[in-house]
Every structure is written in C-alpha cells, then in structure tokens.
Structure 1
C-alpha cells in the first residue's frame, strides 16, 4: 500500500500544486522532478543512482522534435501577424457575408482551427474574439465561441501533442490519429450546433440546421480522411481549410461578387497552402520520402531516438517562414521582433514539456507506472475504460496542454489497458481527445479569452458555462465508449 501511495505521489503533487496552490507549470514540474527522483532512489523502489541520467537524456531527446516544430510554428504565426496577413484573412472571412451563422462557423470551425493547427497554445483566441466583437456579437458570446473554437487541439501545432502521446504510449502515430479523429466526428457536430446556438440563438439555428450539421460533419470527416490516407500532422490544416473553402462556396452561390475577396484571401493563406503541399508531397511520394528520411538523420539506438531533420514538419515550417518573409516583404526589424516574441512564447512551454517528460520517464524507470497500472487494473477491472476520459480531462483542464497531459498520463492509460485486456490504442485515443478538448476549459485559457473580450469581472461566469460545455463533450465520449464496447468488440 505504501508503495502505491508513493508511486501516486508525483502525479498527485502535480495536480495539487497546479489546482490548489496555483503554482506555475515550471515550478510544478521542477518540484515534481525532484520529488519523483527522491522516491525513485528511495529504499522502496531501489532505483540505482547510476540509472538516473537515463530519464533526463531520454526526455531531452523527446523534447528536441518538439522544439523544432514549436519554434517555427509560432514564428510563422508572428511573421504572418506582422505582415498583416492574419488580420486580412480574418477580415475577408468576417466581411464575406452578413449571415451571422456563416460568420460564426467560418471563424469557429475554419479560421481558429487553421491558426491553432500551426501555432497552437490558444493563440487563435487572440485573433477570433476581437473579430466576433467587431461583428456585433456581445462579449460573452465572443468569449465562449473563441474558447470552443479551440477544437482542433489534437492536431494543434501539427499534432505535436498527439505525436508525443504516440511516442510515450508506444502506439503507432497513424492509429492514434485515426482513432482520435473518429472520436471527434460527433463532437465536432456538437460544437458546430453549440457555437451557432451561442451566436445566433435557437430560432436562427433551426433555419440552417442541415448546413450546420454538414459543416460539423465535414470538419470531422476531412480530419479523419487526412489522418487515414495522408498525414496526421496535416489533419488540422486540411480540415480547417476544407471548412473555409466549403463555406465560401456556399456563400458565393448566393453572392457572386466575392471574386476579388477570394483572390486576396488566397494570397494571405498561401503560406498555409504551401505548408500543406510540402507536407503532402513529402509523405505521399515514396522516393522523396525515402530521400528526406535518410538525409541528415540523427539516430541514437540506445535511446530509441531518431530525428530526420529534413522530414520533420519543423523543416517545412522553416521553409514556409522564409517564403512568408519574401512574399510579404518583411523588413529585418519585423523578423527580429517576431523571433523575440517566438522565443518568449516558446521557452516556458518547452521547459514545462521537458520537466513533465522527465517525471514520466523517471516513473517508468522506477517501475511506478507499471505498479499503478496493475493497481488500477485490480481495482477497476474492465470498468477502467470509463475512468480513462476523466483522467485525460483532468490533465487537459489543469495543464492547458495536450502535450503535458499526454506526457503525464498516456503511459498509465496504455499500461493499464494491457493489464485489463483492453485495446491500448482505444484508451490512448480517449486520453488524447478528452485531454485536448478539456484544455479549452483551462482557467488560463478562460482568463485569456475574458481579457481579450474585456470581461474579466465575468471570468467565473464564463468558467461555469465552459464547464457545462465540457460535460456535454465528456458525455459524447462516454456514449462512444459504450458503443465501442457493445458493437465493435
């Protein structure tokens, strides 16, 4: 019993420091690392001091691809923001139609997922919320819609959190991406109706219920198709652009005077289009894929680490950043300022990610994860699958990061799945989706949204409303679990 309590202590300490003590992620991660190390080398777990460097080295190597992708992903956002492209995309979408339903769907299921797919970490809220207010939606509506629009997070920052989850959970990336996408299809339909209801009300929503259903289904299906047949990293980009193009076509059928706006929009989204083309080519043409995966590849067999610098999404983001600088003729001052902003945004996230991975690797090295999974299997048996979304949701809510949540919990989920005879991939998918979609309820995300909308005094009210949204999301996941158990065994 003492051994189980000590094995749980690192995870409980993280939740306690974040939720009760309100400590920063970096402080929490640092304390958790020290605590986990002390427990690992204690007489209870008998981990040799000689083995202690291994989790730190492995964690650093796991973080390197994250650095590569995250830095250039956020840099692309800031470069496009400096050029005015983000605002022009937003304006083109916002002014393309007077129909409030189409405006909400374009922004919440189109533009926001597009930005989040490349940049991540809630940056889309900063763009979406002010546009909604400019379009005469009230501050509460704008805040709620902007938060719900962070729905593409399993594929945010080119699916970084999902890739980390696949690596730590020992699940094939494509399987985790496809499974997560299937779980998200009914949830995206729910979000499509929800943002429309918040924005235009029940009566107006009923008038376009078929279009709303189609847009939610389209986002889910296009994300699934991309995961299944093209690339997990591209899924968020493809899904969001599919929604934007489809709604523009629907608008154009009623108003044929949008040609000039469409041309302007095409230029401003061209960096995203180039990114899609580059990633698509690199992942679907075998000779190019083989060439890129073997050139400038670093392999460390003892740590099961491999990074192909020219095949990683980070390399293509780098090319697109250069393209953006040339296309929009950015001066050196704008580029330097964008780099500074990117560094300021990146280092806390990267340090936090590294610290949480250290905790996970240290717990694994000391056999704490195995002990907890065995205990969970004996305590809950096959019912553990219903605990899985609650664990994922807790991680996403408290950390505000799918990467951090998956780092903390996905290995526990998959290990327990093996113990109870369930599918590790299924539990990993449930963890990935519930974790991702609960980040929109994270207090810091809510605070950001309220700050942008200038309603900080209503922060508690928005938090409660988003909690209700999350109950609906988790309810759908529970229904999907029951369906899986009854019909897809």
Structure 2
C-alpha cells in the first residue's frame, strides 16, 4: 500500500501531462505537489512543520533554474536584436547548407562541449535558439536538443555527477575510475542510436540514411575522445570530446565528407567577412571561456565563487538568513528544522556567464537602448507561467524525498529492487533516470540513489562498479524526460503547454537508451 500511494502522484502527473487534452504544467505540477502533501500528511503522518519547511525550500530553489533560463533567453534576444544571430546563421549555412550537418554541429557536438563545461541545462538552452535561427521548426528542435543532451551528461560540468555525485559512498579512486570507464562505454554505445532518433524528430529517415556516414563520423568525433579521456580522468571526458567533436564536425561538413550532395546544398551564400563572423561568434567563445575559468578547480575562481564565508547574518521567524563574501545567499534552519536553502548567485550560470556576456554584447554590437529594452521585455514575458511550473515541480520533489529511508521516493526504489532481485542490473539505469526526472539533475540523482544502488549491488552480489555506472548512465538518460529541463527549453524557445507532448516523444529514445544499458550489463555479467 505504501509503495502504491508513493507512486500514485507520479502516475497521475504523467497521465495528466501526456493524455490527449493534456493539463498545462503550471496547473499539473502544483496540483501534484498538493497531492503529495496530502499523502504525506494523511498516510505517512509527516511532520507538518517539516513539510512547510521543505515547501519553502522548494519555492526558493526555483531561483536557480529560473535565473539560468532568464540569462539564456536574455542572451538569445540580445543576439537576435543585434543581428549577430543572423550572421551566425549565414556562416553555418556557408559551412554547409545540409540540414543534418547543421543539426549535428550545433545540436550534437557544440551542445556536447557546453555540457562538459557547464551542465545545468545550458546546452539545450544555447543550442535550441541557434537551430531555430537557422530555420528549423521550434517544437522538433526542443525535442532534439533535449534528446541529444544526454550522452555527455554523466561527465557534465567538468565531471560533477561522478566525482561529486558519488562522493558520499567512500569509494576508492580506482573504484571511481571503474565507474567512469563503464559509464563512458555505455554512453558511447547509446550514442550510435540516440542522436539518430533525435534527428528523426526534425528530418526524414531518407535524410538520415543519405547522410549516415557524416552522422556516424560526427558521433565518433565526440565519443572516441570522450571514452579515451574517461579511462584516466573524471572531469574532462565531455569537455574534450565536445571540443574535438566540434572541430572535426565543422571540417567534415565544410568538405562534404559523408554528406549527400544535391544542387540545393551547394554554397550559394555570399562570402562573409571573417571579422563579422568572429564578432558574431565572440559571445559564445567568451561564454565557454568564462565557464571554463569558473569551473576548473586549478584556476582558483571556482573555490572563491563557492565561498560560504559569511559577511552578514540575520535571524527571523522563517530561519537564519546569511550572505557570504561571494554573494552566496542561504536560509538555514527553516521554520526551526534542519532544512536549508542556498543560492550561489555568482556560480550558478546566470549572472556569470550569461548576463556578463550580455553586458559585453551591448557595446560590441552597438545596440540601441530600444533594442536592449525589447530584449529585456521579451525575456520577462516568457517567465511567469514557467516560474509557477517550476515551483510546483521543486516543492513536489522536496516532499517526495521527505522521510529519508521511508520517503515516497525511496519506497518506490526499494519496491523495484525487491521485485527484481538479481535481475536488478537490467533495470538499474531506470532508477537513475527516475532521479533525474524528479530532480532535474544527474548529480542530484547520483547523490540520492547512489547509496541505494550500492546497497543493492552488495546485497545481491552484483559488481559495484557496473551498478553505479548504470546509475550514472541512467541519470544522464533521465535528462530527456526531466520536467525542469523540458519547461526550461520550452520557455527559452517560446512554446507553452507542450510539456506532455515533449515527454511522450523523448520517452522513446530514453527507453532505447535504457535497453542499451541493460544489454551492456548482460554482456558484462556474461563475460565474468
């Protein structure tokens, strides 16, 4: 009964958002949060003060995703009104007018590199507007970018999901590297299927077949260095793989290697001034440079931006409010509980790099005050309903996780493991995906379910490295169906009330990904 009631809100949410006349997310998610609260209070007899504290933390936590989305939209609108987006579109068409090549360069390789540097949903947020600027349809692009942004996620934000997400398990360095190696191999195998399924949302099977050689070369240009780096390093597989992939994909596309030839694909674009192209590309170069400088521990900025050394503290009936020297805002002991909230205003990719790059773009492109006002107005107009949706999602997640080992989310996980027993290896990745679906983060999924996966592996005698790799790969595939990411991308590209439709489409490649992970585990266990 406990497991059934725990799963009921999620089942109802999926049904409400995917049925023929779907319920908008700004209604479905807050309603689901209320249902979870009712079940927690009525059946699990949860502490009301703790529920309220988790709700407050959930509401405040919306600042992280909404600020990232706002920053990404603002940069996109600035590039649009300044004319930089049009220049970039003409340049990409001059490299290749082949649609598949453009989708693979931006939607696959470029997004792969951005994920390696930043994570936080920024790859789809940056890639989707560029592709739409090239003339691709909005909804299919949203689905494609969400689907593509899965393979590199296990090593996103310089490897955070692995080295930090599994940090609480007391694994040896050798064990962590074993997890990374298995994870990279699983993801590489999935890369032969997932990007092709993603392309099908935008182009026909005929287009895919006729350009298959280029597609495979572009995939390998990212995944081969990705796997090689993962053999010895936890931080840079996605970043190095993406950087190599972008360079090779552009070179291959410019030379027409593996691409179908037709009269419409011939370069009919006027020759562009190289200075103009570099100027249009400079915001993205600056974006990547800032992300690297603020994410690489060796630089030293990361530690400073995350500093929690307080410069001011205030106490109120809500909790203990704190501000650090790095503008990390925190609220501790919310409503007298041990629940806390924190917002790293300079580390979350919002003010830095998006808003910072915007400040550079305004004089760089000689934008008028009217153009800047239009960009800000467009940004603000897209945020109201997504903000409501995200509040509902984050409150729901916090309430689903309340109760630690007896929380609804843990009960669902334990129910699956008890039923499957030694067959757990074939479905372990789905638990990782469930964590990302709920939380919107592969890192949080690993932090949440890594301990459960470790316990199951040890209790039924399965290889720990394999099971944790399946957890990590599952957390990556869950990015496709993560409600937070879907809302964010939908907001950035300007579509509404399509979240359920997007989930139904991204679910198919996610299940294919899960099948590949299961086959990998079967093959590995058979070879033991």
Instruction: Report the equivalent of 1:293.
Output: 306
Cα offsets for 1:352-389 (capped at 9, x unmatched): 23322222222322432333333222222243443345
Mapped partners of 2:234, 2:457: distance in 1: 31
Distance 1:169 1:74 in 2: 32
SS of the residue corresponding to residue 95 of structure 1 reads helix
State whether structure 2 residue 230 is matched by structure 1 residue 187.
no
CA contact (8 A) 2:181 2:227 kept: yes
Q: CA RMSD in A?
A: 5.0
Residue in 1 that maps onto 2:276? 264
Give the C-alpha shift of residue 338 in structure 1.
2.0
Equivalent of residue 275 in structure 1, options 281, 287, 290: 287
Q: For the residues of structure 2 that align with 1:3 and 1:104, how far apart are their CA atoms?
A: 45
Matches for 1:26-175 after TM superposition, within 5 Å: 26-42=26-42, 44-97=43-96, 102-103=101-102, 105-110=104-109, 124=127, 127-128=130-131, 131=134, 147-154=143-150
Please name the residue that 2:475 is paired with.
Answer: 432
Preserved contact between residue 89 and residue 268 of structure 1 (Cα < 8 Å)? yes
Matches within 5 A, 1:319-468: 319-366=356-403, 367-390=407-430, 404=440, 413-414=449-450, 416-421=452-457, 425-437=468-480
User: By percentage of residues, which structure has more helix?
Assistant: 1
Which segment drifts farther, 329-338 or 33-42?
A: 329-338
Distance 2:444 2:301 in 1: 36
Task: Quote the offset at 1:479 in angstroms.
Answer: 2.5
| 1:380-435 C-alpha deviation (Å, 9 max, x unpaired) | 22434433455677898xxxx78558799878754642442365743542332222
CA 1:28–1:481: 2 relative to 1, 3 Å: farther
Q: In the superposition, relative to structure 1, how do residues 432 and 178 fare at CA in structure 2: closer, same or farther (>3 Å)? A: farther
**What is the SS of the residue equivalent to 2:89?**
helix
**Aligned-partner SS, 1:298:** strand
Displacement after TM superposition at 1:39 (Å)? 1.5
1:36–1:177: structure 2 CA closer, same or farther, 3 Å change rule?
A: farther
Name the structure, 1 or 2, with higher relative contact order (CA <8 Å, separation 6+).
2
Q: Where in structure 2 are the equivalents of 1:220-235 lying within 5 Å? A: 220-221=223-224, 235=238
Partner of 2:172: none
Find the partner of 2:346 among 296, 310, 328.
310
Contact 1:369 1:412 in 2 (8 A): no
Change (3 A) 1:419 1:319: same
- The answer as to whether partners of 2:426 and 2:519 remain within 8 angstroms in 1 is no
Q: Is the 8 A contact 1:122 1:150 kept in 2?
A: no
Residues 70/22 of structure 1: CA separation in 2 closer, same or farther (3 Å cut): same
Question: Which residue in 1 is equivalent to 2:260?
Answer: none
Q: Could you list the runs of 5+ residues in structure 2 that have no partner in the other structure? A: 170-175, 257-265, 308-324, 333-337, 459-463, 496-500
- Point out where structure 1 has 5 or more consecutive residues left out of the alignment: 134-138, 453-459
- Match of 2:329, SS state, is strand
1:112 to partner: Cα distance: 6.7
Cα 1:482–1:321, aligned 2, differ >3 Å: closer, same or farther? farther
Offset at residue 40 of structure 1 (A): 1.4
- Counterpart secondary structure, 2:346: coil
Do the aligned partners of residues 199 and 46 (structure 1) sit closer, same or farther apart at CA in structure 2, a change above 3 Å counting?
A: same
Give the Å deviation of 1:182.
Answer: 5.1
Structure 1, residues 15-66: CA drift from partner, whole Å, max 9, x if none?
Answer: 2322336211121121112111122122x32212232222113323433332
Question: What's the CA shift for 1:106?
Answer: 3.0
Name the CA distance, whole Å, in 1 between partners of 2:253 and 2:242.
17
Structure 1 residues 289 and 483, CA, compared in 2 at 3 Å: closer, same or farther? same
